[in-house]
Structures are given as structure tokens and as C-alpha cells.
Amino acid sequence: MTEPFDAVDVIIAKRDRRELSSDQIDWVIDAYTRGLVAEEQMSALAMAIVLNGMDRAELAHWTAAMIRTGERMDWSGLTRRTVDKHSTGGVGDKITLPLVPLVASFGLAVPQLSGRGLGHTGGTLDKLESIPGWQANLTVERMVSQLTEVGAVVCAAGPGLAPADRKLYALRDVTGTVQSIPLIASSIMSKKIAAGAASLVLDVKCGSGAFMTDQTQAVALAEAMVQLGTDAGVTVSALVTDMSTPLGRTIGNALEVREAVEVLAGGGPPDVIELTLALAGEMLAAGGLSQADPAAVLASGQAMDTWRAMIRAQGGDPLAALPTARHHEVLRSPESGVVTRLDALAFGVAAWRLGAGRARKEDPVRPGAGIELAVQLGDEVAAGQVLATLWTDTPDRFGRALAALAGDAVVVSPVCLDDAARPVVPSPPGRLPGGLVSGRPIVLRRITAAGLN
């Protein structure tokens, strides 16, 4: 059978800044998935898209074509309304863990198909796999029964969801073509639309630990994704949130599970609580429950009950001791003052080097490895005070991890407390339950379909 297009013509069209036709897009995605478009041709096309972009119609078509390469989940048999969440990934981002059971406690169904971490950002499945017995792989039948009984599932996405993206993302990873708003937006949204929830809330990270380091780019990515979801009939909103410094006080799989459980028990760091409640509010409103009070349900222990049921349903023991690493080393403050910088990327790389993350998809992670912060932004410290504890099973990793934290990764600015010239730490955005205050603005922007033109 002769093919209707030639891959070289499609590449040249995008190289010369021409709009790709719907037929060209349908063909190139399908032919690439079937192996008829060579990896080097797709990599040239991806680079042309990085450089020249895609307009709204091209992007919508590209995303729809990626979805059509695989299956689409169907939750219409459930009596509960479905709502999903996606984070573009960050350092110490354990929000899915308290958020999913919290939202499910209101009677909504949250089917979360998650991934494993790569590089300095963690993956939700890696975190949950540090719980003894917990299983990431579920059949669709088990997902349906767990959603019916518990309302909350976090499990591995099967290979059938947008297989074109699986292939294309692996290629982009090794060809310098990850950093592109249309390619990131279509990659994420093809999987999320195929995952089938009626509503979706996006947490688009912004800052050194995120794909998008500046707010203008993060807002543009959020807008593109909200537009794609809306065009596909999904109710979508996005929060653009700060990722310039790690979320909470822990980075690393078992350490992050422990902190998430603290939040479910009514404690935990203010920034983690604030973001959990902000995203829960969005998800509940999307599910028709805009008057619901997630802070009250978190405080009541109901979300903890749902968490335990969710973990048990997947073979895990929510009360079992979590793994710990065998060796630790501390990082101390060189001087007295106020902590004005804890760089997210540097801490993510350090935790990764300690064994919390992987360099290649096949690598294992060490569940106990990672970093516990003893301070957060804006805290006063004395010279010699512990700023962070580094954990690993292999002590020869300490050197490279500490090297990632050298330079200006951590800044303690000397101040006199009465001094008007005290360094500016962003002012608290608001009070949280229990009188807690988080030390910086977490939610930077909210993007909804109504706000787009």
C-alpha cells in the first residue's frame, strides 16, 4: 500500500514554518507509531516543532491523533463522578498522596494513572512502592471495583494509553526536544484525556525544580493544556504553583510518604497543606461540590480512613514501618541569619544522587534515600545549626550529593532582626487551619477555560 504522505515533506513544511494539515498530522502520528516514520525523521520533526511551534488547531489535532493510537478509559458505569489531577512534576511533590483520598472522601471517584520518576523529579508510584506490599499494577476490573468501594485509585498507566506518546517521549528525552509547550501539552493531555475522567485539575509547576522556570512560560503551558482539555469535552482548570524551593520538608520516596501521612493525620508542613487544600478545592468544584470544606475533612481523620482503605485495597499495609536508609550526614548553616534560598533543582539533584531517583527507566530506586529539611524559607538559624539531613544506603554517594548543594543552592543571609534591610522573604499568602502560615505564596495563578479567549 502506498502512503499518502512523505515524512520528509511533513518535516520540511514545519521547518519552513508552515501549518501542518489535519491529514498530515493524522498520518505522521499513526505512521510513526506503526514504525513507518523513522526515529530520525520524527526527531527532526520534533525539533522543527520546538523551534517553530504549532498553532491551536494543529495542537488540538496532534493531541487527538495521539489519543487515537491507543485505548480510552470509560468510567461511565460508575455512580460516582470522576475527577483526576496531574502535576507537571517537582521536588518533594507528594501532594497526590493526601489529595486523592481527601477528594475521594467526598464521594467523588479519583482514578489516578501515575508514572515513575526520571531524573531529579520524583514519581508517585516510586513513593507508594516504599509501602510494604503495595502494588502499582491493577486490571481495569480491579480499578472499577476499588473506585466503587473506596473512590480512590493510584496505579500504573498501562501501555495502551496513547502509545504514540510513550514512543515520542522516549525519543524527545534523548534528542533535546522535551522543552516545547506544544509537545509537553500534547504529551500530558493525550494521556490524561485518554484516562477518561470527566474533570481534570492541573498543577503546573514553575521555578528551578520544574520544566518551566519562568511564570510566563508556565502560564502559557497551563493555558494550552486547559484549552486542549476543554476542546476535548473535559472540565479542566489549572493552578500555576511555585517550585523554586522544595515542597515540604522531605524529598525521597519513603520520607515523602511519611510526610503525606502526617498531613492526613492533621499535621505536616504548611506549604504541603496549603497546596493540598487548594487543589482539593479545585477538584471538588469541578465535581460539583464547590461548597465542600476539605480542611474540615482533613482535620476530621476521614481522609486518613480513605488513605488506609486505598493502600489496603492494593495489597499495602498502611500501618507498617516505612524503610529507612542506613547512613546519614548533616548539612549545617555556615552562619547565623535567615534562610532566603533553598533551591529546588539543587535539592532534587542531591536526593537523586543519594539514590531516591533513577537515571535510566530500568534503574531501581532506594526507598529510604533522600533529604529531610530541618528548615524552610524564612526560618532564622544560628551558625552550625542543622539545615538538612541526607540519607542513603551507600555512603560513597554523599560527596556528589553535597556537591549539588554547594554554591548558592542554600543561602543564609545575615540580618539584624530589627533591621529594615532584612532580606525579603515573600509574605505569607494566608492562614491555614490551626493557625499555620506558609512562608511563601504557593499558588501563583489560576487558569480556567472561562478566562481563555
Catalytic sites, residue numbers: 86, 165, 172, 187, 191
Whether the Cβ atoms of residue 164 and residue 66 lie closer than 8 Å to each other: yes
187 binds ligand URA per the rule CB under 6 A: yes
188 binds ligand URA per the rule CB under 6 A: yes
- Cβ of residue 180: shortest distance to ligand URA, in angstroms? 8
169 binds ligand URA per the rule CB under 6 A: yes
Of the candidate spans 93-101, 179-187, 233-241, 291-299, the one that interacts with ligand URA by CB under 6 A turns out to be 179-187
- Give the binding-site size for ligand URA (rule: CB under 6 A): 6
Whether the Cβ atoms of residue 166 and residue 42 lie closer than 8 Å to each other: no
**Side-chain half-sphere exposure of 253, counting CA atoms within 13 A:** 30
Q: Which three cell numbers stand for residue 150?
A: 473506596
Nearer to ligand URA, 183 or 224 (CB): 183
Whether the Cβ atoms of residue 433 and residue 427 lie closer than 8 Å to each other: no
User: Distance of alpha carbon 43 from its chain centroid, rounded?
Assistant: 25
Paired residues of 327 in beta bridges: 392
Of the candidate spans 68-76, 176-184, 313-321, 434-442, the one that interacts with ligand URA by CB under 6 A turns out to be 176-184
Nearer to ligand URA, 152 or 189 (CB): 189
226 binds ligand URA per the rule CB under 6 A: no
Choosing from 10, 60, 99, 184, the residue that interacts with ligand URA (CB under 6 A) is 184
- Cβ of residue 123: shortest distance to ligand URA, in angstroms? 11
Measured CA to CA in angstroms, residue 398 lies from 66, 151, 331, 357, 367 at distances of 42, 41, 11, 15, 16
Of the candidate spans 184-192, 235-243, 304-312, 316-324, the one that interacts with ligand URA by CB under 6 A turns out to be 184-192
Q: Which three cell numbers stand for residue 314?
A: 492494593
Of the candidate spans 11-19, 71-79, 180-188, 440-448, the one that interacts with ligand URA by CB under 6 A turns out to be 180-188
Strands 199-206 and 152-156: unpaired
Strands 199-206 and 83-87: parallel
195 binds ligand URA per the rule CB under 6 A: no
Paired residues of 381 in beta bridges: 337
What is the C-alpha to C-alpha distance for residues 390 and 410, in angstroms, rounded to an integer? 14
**Side-chain half-sphere exposure of 448, counting CA atoms within 13 A:** 8
Q: Which residue is nearest to ligand URA (CB)?
A: 187
Nearer to ligand URA, 54 or 325 (CB): 54
Map residues 128-167 to x or -, x wherever contact with ligand URA holds by CB under 6 A.
----------------------------------------
Query: Which helix or strand (DSSP H or E) is residue 154 part of?
Result: strand 152-156
- Using CB under 6 A, list all residues that contact ligand URA: 169, 178, 183-184, 187-188
